[in-house]
Every structure is written in C-alpha cells, then in structure tokens.
Structure 1
C-alpha cells in the first residue's frame, strides 16, 4: 500500500519526494553493506557523511539552522529506514540530540554543534541509562561536581546507541544529588576533548547487531561549564520530557517500515515455496495469516501517520505518543512472529531477513521507555482528561 493512500495531511508531494530520496539512499548506501556491518558490530562512519550529503541528517530542523525545515521529512526517512530492513542505525538518536540543542541550547551551543551534526561531521548519542537506572531517570547516579570553570563527572552509562561512534554525547548527570528530578542536568560531552572519558565494551545483543551499543565510563571526566545544555543546572529532566513524544513516535514510525519489510519478504517466500502440490500461499492458513498481518500493518500505518498530523499541529500529547509506541511495537512483534512461522525452518536461519528482524524488532518494546511504562502513561491519562 502506498503511504499517500491513508490521506494523512503531512504526506505532501514534497514529503513523498523526500521519501524517495531516503529510499534510494538506503538501497544504495545501506542495503549492500548491512551484512558486513552486522559482522563488525558497527556501521561505518562514512555512512554518516553520506547521509549528511544526502540531506537526511537534521532534515527535521528549521532552515535557519541549516536543516530542511520539517519533522515530516524525518518521519518519512524513518519509515524508509524500516522498509530497508534496518532498525540498528542510530539516525533517530542523532536527530533527538539535534532537537535538544535546538530547543534548549544557547546561541553559542547551536552554532558550535548543529552545523557539524547536520553535515555528518559529528555523530551524536544520548547517555541516560545506567546499570541501576533505566526508565526511572530520577535515580541516576552519575554526578557532575562544580569545579569552577568546569564540571568533574563520575559515573557509568550503559546500552548507549552510537556509543562507539559518537563524538558528541548528551549525558544526563546529577548536579544536585539531593534534589531528585530537579537535580538532573544535561551535559554535552565532546569526546575528543574530555579527559577521563572512556568507552567500554561494545555490547553483544540478541538483535540489532549492526548497532554499536556500548558502555561508557566517566572517571573524573572534565567538561567545560559552557557545555551545560541551556546554561542552567537542574533543567535536564524537563528538557528530556519535552522531546519524549517525538522520540516515541519516531520508534513507532520505523515499525511501520519494518512491518512493510517483513510482509514483503514473507509474500516472496510463500509464493515461491512449493508445498502439497502447490505453493505455501495456496494454503488457506497462509492466506489467513497474511491477511491478519496486512491488517495489523495498515492499522499501524493509519495510527502512526495520524499521530504525525497531531505532532505537526502541536497536539501530540504524551498519552497519544505512548499509545503509538505501545501499539506499533507490539503489533510489529506479533506480525514478525507470524511471518517467521510461515518461513518454517528457514525462518530460524540467521541468513534469512525475517530471522534477523525477529531479533531486531524485540528491542523496540524496551527502548524509548518500556511498553509497561507506556501502559502506565496511557492509563493515567484516563483519569486526568
């Protein structure tokens, strides 16, 4: 089904043209290299520069800072990333950092970092999660102590996307450990100018093998005070909350593309695979399963694309964003499981796209806030509306 068939307002001719550009980019730059990147556990740095040259990095940022001016451009790019069969490349995380800087950075911070992020010269990451603190950000233990012209940072982060590659990392720290959420601040760490910064091991996962998910360590790491996002302590928790709706919707949008990918490869398999005097597609069970998967996919598409309309109209509330993330990630995992079953034994072989996607899709129910947290947010909205 074509995206424009769902009649979402944001799917203008211009957005669909950006989608075509993104599709060509992924087919030419990404698909031929994905097997190698999965083996090496990290995507080549050159892809970031290529994405910058193609205009995909920062495409959701306003034109006055060097972007293309529309979050809809990033929305369609993430759908195309999924259609290429990828959830590992951290382009969305890179985009979130750009928006943190845009929304809260000082003029100097915007001038220092946004042009290099948009060009692909710099790669960005967000360091929130710690070994003992995941969704509960108030419980982070990484501290930043005032030392005059700089902060001295001590702590550890884990599960950090782009962790081995990033040279600009948005790190959540406690500038006032006794103040709970009001003591959280965001420090922008330029890794090549941060004594005491250390990358840990590249983590081995059941999926997303091309993603350089990492541990990070800060041992008396020194960060200039001018790298405090926005220039004021204690604003980090609020800054993070403002961007969460877009982050969660971004995850949901990529799920739409991944669902397209899973269904497309499954139809190819069942129409070619011989069984019982015909093809697998000739069997009623196969047709019923594919019909259910197709229905789930279109429900995801209409829901998530409608949420983009709400986002662009300034009406994407936290509960709607949480619902989109919850629904899309749950339905994607169910769809991929059904599609894998139709592959039989081949579906369990890692060389088959559906097997890889089975591992990759599972993480979407965890990152960006676990789906259990999404359910809590949606439930609480029922008694506050």
Structure 2
C-alpha cells in the first residue's frame, strides 16, 4: 500500500509539474522591456499609506517612463503619518504629470485599499484609456507601462495582471514568496482562464494591474469589491461578471517588487489575506492537506523508507520530491525568480504556508487582524 501511495505521488506531482511547464512555455504572456510606444491616454494610480521609505524609487521609476506621451500620475496619500506626502512633493517637484491628492477615511462597508483605489480612479476621470494601479513597493523598467498597455490590447483583455519579479531577501521571504507565482502556474489553467467567462476562474496581483477604463466602469470599479481583502482577484472576477476578459502575464522583465522587508511584515501580511484566499475553513484545510501530501510527505517518506530498507518505496518517494523541486524550478525560470538552491526547500515552503494559513484563520476568528493600523473585517 505504501509503494502504491509513493507511485501515486509521482504521477500526481509529475502531472502538476508538467502543467506548470505547459503554462510557462505556451500560455504565459511576456511583455517585452524593449522600446515600446502607446498613444493611449494612461493614468497611473498610486495609493500610499505610510510609505515614506518606499515611495521614492517607485515614483522616480514612474517619472522615468518612456513611450507614453499621454501619461498622468495620480498619487493618493491615505492618511499617512510618516511624511509620505512630503516625499512625493519633493520628488515630483513641478512635474505637471503628477497630482497628489489627500485621501479621506473609508466609509462604513469599505476597506482601506479598495477605497483608496476608487478615489484614485474617480480622480482620473472618465475619458477612454487605461488605468494602471501600482503599489509603492514596485519598481518599473523604463518602458514597463507602455509594454503592459500594448500587451493588454494584444490580448483583447479588459484587465491584465503582469506579475512583477518577486525580490526576496530574508530566509522567510525566500521560502514563502516564490509560492505566489508557483501556485498559479502549477494549478491554474491559464488558457482556460482567459477564455472562460466563469468569475471563479480568475487570478490577479494588485501590485501592478492594468484595466481598460470603460471596462472598469462597467464592472462598477472598486465599489464592486469594497469589502474584499483580496481586492485584486475580486476586481478580476467583477470584470468577468460584467462581460470582460482577463489575462495574466509574466512581468519579471518590466517590473520588480519586494513586498515585505522583514519576517514580521511577511507574517502579518499573509495573516491579513490567506483566510480570504482559501475560502471557508473546511476548504482551506483540504487545500493545505493536499499540498502537504503532494510536496511535504515525499521526502519524509523517502528517508523513512530508506532507513527501513524498503527501496521500492524510497525510490518513487524520492522521485516525487524531485519532481516537486523541478516544478519550483520551472516557476522560477518562468518568472525571473531564484531557483537554485531555494527549490530544494519546497517541502519546507509548503509547511510554512500551511502554518501561515492556520494562523490567518485563527487571528480572524479572534478579531485580531489589522493592516496599516486598520482592522481587517
């Protein structure tokens, strides 16, 4: 029975790794960082809350954008107390493309990030064009905005999510952050996602997100996701519900992002959102157990069987582990991430993700989830 389980793991992990490879080589869109031009009207929208130490490089990269002659940059200071607005004023100086507005606190029923984004979109007006939402921890290459807009139009999509290259510094980041791209490359059928009208079949990353202005309005904008923690994914679903199409892309050649700069930030950031990512606790439990079975059990089984002198179990279990490592390498290669030797720690990454997920549900149940000084409800 144990040998049969080991071989079943080989088949399952092998299929998933093959699927990641198919997504990466055939279906994943890749905006080019080379010189690209768009004549469309583009509004880059930058929400900020206590980002004085991060906004500088982000805003300088936005001011250095090329190939977008009709570019405006709207920055919203969402009640910062660390001097964020002063940093923006110093960097932007008298550049006519930049407008800094003061946000107001979210009304009842709204979370902070969706309301900040809605205020920005309202300030950008209603003329045809493209809205580009960018987070303060994103660094764009000179032609990033132009290349992303061209990709949006080439895909005939309403919403495009060009996922930035994730920069990971600490050990905790290197264990957890690569799972962001690995999960959707491994488990999400990208071609079916683009073609399907099902809102449930959607993915997006809010760090760098483009949406056609008219399509955004048809979907009711961020008002449609006003109380959603994962407002990026929910906005993609709202776009689908309104008849639009969505697309994912590898944005590693045009954007980079270090989401968290310490273990505490990473831990609390995932606590804020993982409970919303996996749905009801029963579903989350099933997903985490499946991931542990496929990616954490094989090396344990391989070592245990080898010590017990059962090679007919140890060898296929080792093969399942190596196939999991291969899947992580495929993801890293496809998205500009760090593959070797970090991929060898894939079982540990999955275990840590399971712990972060359990912690997220625990804190939510106790009403102890906060982000940037605001409760997450």
Q: Same fold (TM over 0.5)?
A: no
Return the TM-score normalized by structure 1.
0.28
Structure whose residues are more often helix by fraction: 1
Structure scoring higher RCO (CA < 8 A, sep ≥ 6) equals 2
